[in-house]
Every structure is written in structure tokens, then in C-alpha cells.
Chain A
Amino acid sequence: MNLGAGSVILIELALVLAVDIQSAEFLLRQFGLALFVTIMSLIWFVYVYLRAGSRWLIWIIGLLWSFTIIADITISGSFTHTQIGELRAFETFWGEPYTLAVGQMTSWKYVTDVASVLICVFLLHAMLAAWRDGRRQRAVLVGGGSIAFIVIAGILVPLQDAGIIKVPLITSAAFLAIVIALAVQLIDEAFRANASRLEVEQLRRAMILGEMVGGLAHEINQPLAAILSNAQAASRFMKADNVDLDEIREIIDDIIADEKRASGFIRSLRQMLERKEHEIVSADVNAIVKSAARIMAGELHTHDVTLYMELQPALDSVRIDPLQIQQVLINLLLNAVRATAELPRLRREVTIQTSRYEQGVEVVVLDRGPGIQDGQKAMLFEAFVSRSKGGLGMGLAICKRIVERFGGKIWVEDRAGGGSMLRFTLPLAEPEN
């Protein structure tokens, strides 16, 4: 949709530029085709963007227009390009009213008029449908803008062609205004879409944490349990007749160490949940792997899964958002743990590898789970396709989006001896010139 909208704007801008730069004669020759492309893209854009309007109307409009375009070229094939321009623009029709092929030309003109009316019908219909759905701003801006475009094109062009308005820039200025209106709307939507993507990612992080709440509780409970027992032991030892101060000191040191461990863990959770804008920095993937493993420790423990880390030392750093890549890693590890949890204990192991390849850094998460069927390998990264029964299936789609944002790729392969390998790459940043 974004691509389509972008192409509309590009085509429109190209047209506007053509209007600005090229001579009137050249414009007239190109105008029919350019207008056709523009209007068809506009219609298609409205159809996709408003998700309204009828498909068969688009077909009829398209057929009528292509018919006139083809007719222009083939039937006027014996004429020169200038003459085609004359025919389309009707300038020569006014300047030399009594030249040949008048009847033929007017009949073609009716076909384009029918098409124009149909375009207006299509736009009105789509606009009303969107309006009724409650998407009023979109309907008015896009639908209204498009109709204004057609009307301006329909009125201004003949007027200008007729020599009443002599400056072609008026047309282009009107186009430009509409293009800008549409662009503003699109940018606004894109901005909101980006904001909601941020929200989805943040929500997903919260959901990941929710899924492993037992493991998280374990990670906090362990140091707390040690702290409480140590403190109660110290308090009781202090009541003895001859207090062993060395033991008390040792206990206090242990209490401090356990507190540090718990608060460090809570800090990493808070970082993961904090809503903040993406922050792209030069980062060490190995360090991110370790932080993800840290958060996953309790989850691995409660499912009795052993994590092996095979990290290539001194990896080149890549330009990424560490928080997002950590999210990808936690997601992949969580999937691996889920795939592994039902296995006999000896096979309950997950391995994570990092390595350097020509263009960057590659990360592989390996498990010994049931693996992914060939038919599902490509679908796995689509939203709402869930690998685990309980999962929401958004995990891998978001992983894909994040990895691709940093220029990487993510895919799944079978692991020799059973299980699956989730691999993703993060290319090194191009050296800046």
C-alpha cells in the first residue's frame, strides 16, 4: 500500500515536473498517457487506501481509458505525434475547426468523458463508503482530494488548451496542491503506523515477560530467599554468647551480593519494558546475547533446559538497537525452550552461536525440538502463525521486522539430527565516506 501510494506521488510529481519543465508541445504529447497512468494509480490508491469502492468500476474505467489511448495511437497511426497531441488536446480542433477526422475524434472524446464520469462515480462511492465506516478524515482528504484533482484536470485542461488560460503552471500548481495534501495525509498515517509499531513491539515485550513470569519470579525469589535466610541466621547468631564476627561479616557480604543480583535483574527487566524510541548504536552482539540469556535464566531453569553459548570472541560491532535485538533473541530462545520442554531431559538443550561472516554477524539458535515442517517454514514469520500452541504467533513476525530494519535476514533451517535452527544476520554498517 505504501509502495502504491509512493508511486502515485512519484508519478504525480513527475507529471508536475514535466508540466513545469517541458515545453507545452511535448506536454500535450505526453499528457494523455501520463494522465492515464496518474488517474489509474490514483484510483488504485484510493481503492487500496480507503479499502472501499468497487473493483468492477476500476476495470471498466481502465478498459475505457486504455481503449482510448490505444485508439489514439493506432487509429491516428498515420498521423504524426503532433497531430495526436492536437487530437487529444482539441487545441487544433479549436484553432483549425474544420480539419479532418472530426467525427471520429468526438466519438473518442465521448469515451473519455464516460470514463471521467465513471471515475467520479467510483471516487464518490469509495468516499461515501469510507465516510460511513467512520474514516471521515481519510475519506474527505483522499476521496475529496482525488475528486478535486479530476475536476481541476477536467476543467483546467480544456480551458488551458482552449487558450483561455495560457499558463500551464496553474494546472501543475493545482496538481501539486493535491499531491501535497495526499502526501501530508500519508506521512501522518505513516508516522502513526510507526508509533503503533513501537507500541506493538513494546506490548510484545510485555507479553514475552508475561509468558515467562514463573521463570522471572524464580530469578527474583532465589536471591530474596538467600537474603532472608542469611539475615535471620545472622540475627540468631548475634544472640549467641560469643559472636563469630567473621561469620557475620561473611553473611553480610553474601546479602549484599544477592541484593545486587536481584536489583540488576530488575533493572534489565525495566529496560526491556521501558517505552523509548529506537536507539541505534554500535553494539556488541555477544553482550546482547548474554543479557538475553540473563533474562531467560529463570525460564530455562524452570523448564530444566540447559543453554549452551558458543560465542565467537571479538565480533565486529554492528549498528543496531540493542534492546530490539535483545527482544529478538529472547523471542527465539523462548520458542526454543517451548519446543524443547516436552523432550526427554538429555535432549533438553538449546544452543546459541554467534559468528562473523563476510558481511556481518550471524546468530543461530538451535534446539532439539520437533522441528518445523517444510510447508510452514516460510509462513512461520507471518503474523498470527503460531509455532507453539499457547503463543500468540506475533513473535517471529516482529523478529523478522526488527532484523530487516537493520538490514538483516531471518530464516529457519532443519538441524542435522533433529530440531531446528533459527538463523539471523546483522550486516556491518557501510563505512561512512
Chain B
Amino acid sequence: MGENRGWVAVVDDEASVRKALSRVLRSAEYAVDTFATAEEFFSAKSAEGPKCAILDLAMPGIGGLEIQARIVAEKLDYGVVFLTGRGDIRSSVDAMKLGAVDFLTKPVDDALLFAAVDEALAQQSIELADRNRVADVRARFSELTNREREVLELIVTGKLNKQIAAELGISEKTVKAHRAQVMRKTHSGSLAMLVRLHMALQTE
């Protein structure tokens, strides 16, 4: 299935519902995997890239909320959509706090379902892109030498070359050279951009 609208995992303990959801998703060109339990879901090998997980809220054994918590904790590439036979407010609040895209009640209309799945996939693509960018920035920063890193830490606090030179006990000229290396290695076009990238790494 080369051309598809995205990968969807359906986790529902009820066979008839699982089968029907799989069919309706396949009819709209999604690639679908179905799982009866959380254990099956976590032990299966999933495709690379952004994916959507449609989780049944109440299942014997591990329920949807716990699956979502594990997806979040392990940073798995799944956007989560909940599907439940009885939508109670408490669980939907919990689910949304953990970043679920939508909380749908059964029976679900296909248009609503597809919209939620698409949103989950889009959200995952953005998150994945973010994650890739951060990884990229980290890689660039890891190229810096120890001295360059020392200079960087002082640059981002807004210190002038002269002050940095005095603090590190080196010449102002050497500081300038290190500074140029830092800007080049981190692909920063300006001091503002360098500060932003640095901050992105700190918050990660």
C-alpha cells in the first residue's frame, strides 16, 4: 500500500467494531492495523513516520488512557484519537490534557472520524518535524569545541567580546575568532538566531 493517507492503528477489544473501523478507514485510503489489546499494540512493529492511534477508552486489561500515557511517555509517533461507547467528561478531560486530538463517541460518522485522524496525523508530522529540527540543532552544537562552548555560553548572556575576553583571560581577537566559529558551526545568521537555537536546546 504505497499511496495512502497515513497509517492508523485501531485498538478496540470488540472484534466487530475493529473490523468495521478498519473497513471504513481502508475505504478512504488509510493504511490500517488493528489490535485487540494494548499488549498487541505495543509489541507490534509499526511503520516509520507520523501515525494515528484510535483507542477504545474502556477495554478489559489496559485501557485507552493508559495506552495514551505510554505513547506520551515513550514519545511514540502516534497522534491519539479516542473512541468510546460512553463519553464521560472526566476521562475526556484526562485524555485532552495528555494531548489527545479528539474524543469521539460511538457510533462515529466517517467524516468526523477522518477529520480527527487527519488532524492527528498532521499534528504528528509537525511534532516529528520539530523533533527532527531539534535533533539537527543538537548535532550542530555538538560540533563546538570546549572553548567555543564557553564563549557561546557568555555570548548568549549578552556579554561583549571585551568582557568575554576578560572573563576567560584570553585576547579579544581570539574571542572574535571563536565567535565566528560558533556562528558558522550552528548555522546562525545572527546573534538573535543563535540565542533562539540555544534556548530551544535548553527547553528540550
Distance, CA A20 to CA B114, complexed state (A)? 90
25 CB-based A-B contacts, threshold 8 Å? A217-B86, A218-B85, A221-B85, A222-B85, A224-B107, A225-B17, A225-B108, A226-B16, A226-B17, A228-B20, A229-B23, A230-B19, A230-B24, A232-B24, A232-B110, A233-B20, A233-B24, A233-B26, A233-B27, A237-B27, A251-B23, A298-B85, A302-B58, A302-B85, A345-B61
Distance, CA A108 to CA B17, complexed state (A)? 90
Q: Most A CB atoms within 10 A — which of B59, B60, B113?
A: B60
Within 8 A of A (CB), among B94-125: 105-110, 113
For residue B150, CB closer than 8 A to chain A, the reply is no
Q: How many of B's residues come within 8 Å of A, CB to CB? A: 27
Q: How many of A's residues come within 8 Å of B, CB to CB? A: 29
A225 and B106 within 8 A (CB): yes
- The one of B19, B28, B61 that contacts A226, using a Cβ cutoff of 8 Å: B19
A224 and B58 within 8 A (CB): no
B16 and A257 within 8 A (CB): yes
Please judge, given known A-B contacts A302-B58, A302-B86, whether A233 and B23 are in contact too, CB under 8 Å: yes
B109 and A228 within 8 A (CB): yes
Chain B's nearest CB lies how many Å from the CB of A209?
15
For residue A414, CB closer than 8 A to chain B, the reply is no
Chain A's nearest CB lies how many Å from the CB of B182?
54
Chain A's nearest CB lies how many Å from the CB of B26?
7
Question: CB-CB < 8 A to A227: which residues of B?
Answer: 20, 107
For residue B6, CB closer than 8 A to chain A, the reply is no
Distance, CA A319 to CA B37, complexed state (A)? 43
A positions within 8 Å CB-CB of B: 214, 217-218, 221-230, 232-234, 236-237, 247, 251, 254, 257-258, 298, 301-302, 304, 306, 345
Chain B's nearest CB lies how many Å from the CB of A203?
24
Chain A's nearest CB lies how many Å from the CB of B9?
16
For residue B14, CB closer than 8 A to chain A, the reply is yes
B positions within 8 Å CB-CB of A: 14, 16-17, 19-21, 23-24, 26-28, 58-61, 63, 83, 85-86, 88, 105-110, 113
A304 and chain B: residue at smallest CB distance:
B60
Distance, CA A258 to CA B24, complexed state (A)? 16
B20 and A254 within 8 A (CB): yes
Distance, CA A232 to CA B105, complexed state (A)? 16
Question: CB-CB < 8 A to B21: which residues of A?
Answer: 229
6 nearest A-B residue pairs (beta carbon): A225-B106, A229-B20, A236-B27, A233-B23, A225-B107, A218-B85
B16 and A258 within 8 A (CB): yes
Distance, CA A217 to CA B84, complexed state (A)? 11
Question: CB-CB < 8 A to A221: which residues of B?
Answer: 85-86, 105-107
Q: For the A-B complex with A234-B23, A254-B19 known, give 12 more contacts whose Cβ atoms are closer than 8 Å.
A: A217-B86, A225-B17, A225-B108, A227-B107, A228-B107, A232-B24, A233-B23, A254-B16, A301-B58, A301-B60, A302-B58, A304-B58
